[in-house]
């Protein structure tokens, strides 16, 4: 398969992670153009840079345009790329909250659009991206999105677009919940008497190790939890608190519902 021609609009944390993933996967740097208002200093060799849509080399016809700017600037940024809308170009958006209908309004009816939500472990190729295909998206566009997103982790597709908002609340924002859990575990350890730096080291290694164990093991999270829980033991004592009626489950339910709602609000 020939290397895809890609236009990356916004080379920040997420766009940059994907870009490094593609190059690492063998996508030809000479087929990639990056649009960023300010020069990016650490781009892989061979990638062309443009400061805006008008500066894209004439004749560059991308197979895929990755829209990786902040949702708040999408309405101002996207229309400059409407000239690429047509059967030969797929627009892949990673912007939280921006619906396919909104993007279609900005890019025109002819635009083929995939809406997706990745997460930050993409930076180490251990992310997960949920995608939803817009009207007219067929097997070739799906396969191109699969190829490019799998460079930074797993890829899943949902049929109903509103599930992207819910995926945003679970996996898109999810890494932040896990980091907060780590902070809270360290703080609780310090409050219980450990020196703060030791508590921080213990909490960090525990969360990282548990994540790695879960990734490598074939067992689901519930089984892994039961594996470390002896009846009447120390873990059981803590889980009695965490799994109480007002414990972690209803708290996370509220947190996910709040993020889901915010994602829908960002649609504008
Ligand atoms: N980070 C996450 O966890 C995460 C997860 C899922 C989805 N996303 C989505 O990914 C998108 C990017 O987020 P991010 O965290 O990567 O943000 P970011 O680091 O701020 O990246 C956005 C980049 O776009 C650039 N930019 C601004 N105006 C532009 C324009 N007119 N043309 C081209 N580039 C322009 C910004 O440059 P300046 O900094 O110079 O303005 C910045 O480098 C967002 O839509 C977000 O919803 C992020």
pLDDT, tens digit, for every residue of 186-233?
999 999 999 999 999 999 999 999 999 999 998 999 999 999 999 999
pLDDT, tens digit, for every residue of 83-96?
999 999 999 999 99
Angle 162-165-170 (CA atoms, 0-180°, nearest 5)?
130
Determine the Cα–Cα distance for residues 96 and 27; give it in Å rounded to an integer: 26
Cα–ligand 1 centroid distance for 227 (angstroms) = 41
Atom 5, ligand 1: residue with shortest CA distance: 119
pLDDT, tens digit, for every residue of 15-72?
999 999 999 999 999 999 999 999 998 898 899 999 999 999 999 999 999 999 999 9
Q: Show the ligand 1 pocket: residues with CB < 6 angstroms.
A: 9-15, 35-38, 68-71, 73, 77, 94-96, 117-120, 172
Strand partners, 34: 8, 49
Distance (Å) of CA 104 to CA 59, 78, 82, 101, 207: 24, 10, 9, 5, 41
Determine the Cα–Cα distance for residues 70 and 89; give it in Å rounded to an integer: 21
Strands 48-50 and 32-35: parallel
Q: What is the CA radius of gyration of the chain?
A: 21
**Which of 16, 36, 55, 179 best tests ligand 1's pocket when mutated (most atoms within 8 Å of CB)?**
36
């Amino acid at each position: 398969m020939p290397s895809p021609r890609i236009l990356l609009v916004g080379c920040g944390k997420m766009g940059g992670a994907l870009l490094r993933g593609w190059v690492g996967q063998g996508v030809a740097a000479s087929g990639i153009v990056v649009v960023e208002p300010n020069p990016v200093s650490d781009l892989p060799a061979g990638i062309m840079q443009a400061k805006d849509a008008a500066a894209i080399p004439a004749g560059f016809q991308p197979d895929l345009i990755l829209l990786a700017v902040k949702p708040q600037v999408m309405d101002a940024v996207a229309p400059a790329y409407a000239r690429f809308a047509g059967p030969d170009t797929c627009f892949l958006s990673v912007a939280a909250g921006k619906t396919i209908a909104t993007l279609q309004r900005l890019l025109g009816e002819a635009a083929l659009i995939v809406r997706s939500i990745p997460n930050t472990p993409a930076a180490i190729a251990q992310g997960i991206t949920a995608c939803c295909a817009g009207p007219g998206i067929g097997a070739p566009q799906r396969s191109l999105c699969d190829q490019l997103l799998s460079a930074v982790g797993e890829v899943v597709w949902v049929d109903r677009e509103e599930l992207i908002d819910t995926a945003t609340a679970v996996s898109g924002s999810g890494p932040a919940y896990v980091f907060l859990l780590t902070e809270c575990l360290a703080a609780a350890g310090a409050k219980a008497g450990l020196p703060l730096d030791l508590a921080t080291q213990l909490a960090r290694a525990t969360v990282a190790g548990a994540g790695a164990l879960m990734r490598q093991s074939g067992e689901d999270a519930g089984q892994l939890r039961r594996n470390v829980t002896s009846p009447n033991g120390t873990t059981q004592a803590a889980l009695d608190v965490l799994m109480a009626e007002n414990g972690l489950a209803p708290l996370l339910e509220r947190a996910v519902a709040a993020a889901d709602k915010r994602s829908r609000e960002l649609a504008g």
